[in-house]
Amino acid sequence: MKPKISVIVVNLDRRELLARCLDSLWRQLFSDFEVIVVDNGSHDGSLEFLNGISEPRLRVVSLPSNNGFAGGCNAGIRVAKGRYIATLNNDAEADQRWLEELVAGMESDDSIGMCASKILFYNDRKRIDKAGHLIYPDGLNHGRGSGEPDRGQFDQSEEVLFPDAAAALYRREMLEVIGLFDEHFFAYGDDADLGLRGRLAGWRCLYIPAAIVYHVHSATAGEFSPLKAFLIERNRIFVAVKVFPLSLLLISPFFTVLRLAYQAYGSIFMIGSSGQYAAGCSHSRLALMMLKAYWSGLKLFPEMWRSRRKIRRFARLTDRDFAELLRRHRISLRALTLGT
């Protein structure tokens, strides 16, 4: 008998975090699920650890090299048997009602294609990591409420733009229409691309505040690493090219110039995330990273444009309706760059 949910966990050299993640899944009150751990070529004994687990709901997919989060998720989804696909980071610990609450939300309306969790910081469980996502008009996304104290401001179930794939639930029927994660992204922004494709196809995303996950933020790449910054900047270009209405895509460089000006200000005066990046990385190295991101984005522009044409075939929202959706879930420039 097929399980209702397939939980995909992608792992790379994080044996101790993975053990904690899996323990939280075995404690779930909802029991009709399988767990598929996709190992991206670990060298820390993760595979030996996984092969020593006797839990019948566990399946292991071993990849010979690192395919990134997107490639790892896709490898798991391709062998998954569930009606719903859950994604959970290996550096996350799920509350025992996590799956139960997500399924209840998903099954409350057939138009819901995705459900977002309330993600809190693992080491500061009264502070929000993400409660769904917001977007800036050049394709850069940001966690809703990220860094805010959890005062109950996100305790209502409501529609959000798209979920963070660190802890999300997707309807298989939606994925069969829009496709899986785009492996060109490798990591970061791939959930924005998938979520926005789903929204463009007419599916809704519901935020479930009782579906709680505790997340060790950026445990794999490092919170302010140059690699993460490169992937985020390059991949937001991919998102804009693939899914933005043409009118917004054409003016998006203007919004990027504004954002870079604010980020430069933040890096000089050590304010917000820009200042935190600057504290851990020289200005010259950050500038080089940005140039590499734009060069990489330019090289893959033809591929992203071909994807854009394919995506338009299953689009249900008009450009005007989609632009309005993005406007409703837009993050302000100050909040994005300076955290104010």
pLDDT in tens, 144-161: 999 999 999 999 999 999
Alpha-carbon 297 to chain mean position: 19
Q: How far apart are the C-alpha atoms of 151 and 37, rounded to whole Å? A: 34
pLDDT in tens, 34-45: 999 999 999 999
Beta strands 204-215 and 112-121 are parallel
Largest CA distance in the chain: 59
**From residue 275, how far is each of 265, 293, 301 by CA, in Å?**
9, 19, 30
Per-residue pLDDT of the chain (340 residues; tens, 9 = 90+): 789 999 999 999 999 999 999 999 999 999 999 999 999 999 999 999 999 999 999 999 999 999 999 999 999 999 999 999 999 999 999 999 999 999 999 999 999 999 999 999 999 999 999 999 999 999 999 999 999 999 999 999 999 999 999 999 999 999 999 999 999 999 999 999 999 999 999 999 999 999 999 999 655 555 557 888 899 999 999 999 999 999 999 999 999 999 999 988 887 766 766 656 555 566 677 778 889 999 999 999 999 999 999 999 999 999 999 999 999 999 999 999 887 6
The values of phi and psi at residue 254, to 5°, are -60, -45
| CATH number for the domain formed by residue range(s) 5-215 | 3.90.550.10
- CATH 3.90.550.10 positions along the chain are 5-215
Q: Is 213 helix (H, G, I), strand (E, B) or coil?
A: strand
Give percent helix, percent strand, percent coil of the chain, each to the nearest 5: 45, 20, 35
**pLDDT for 158:** 98
Instruction: Decide: pTM greater than 0.75.
Output: yes
**From residue 66, how far is each of 11, 62, 123, 221 by CA, in Å?**
9, 10, 27, 13
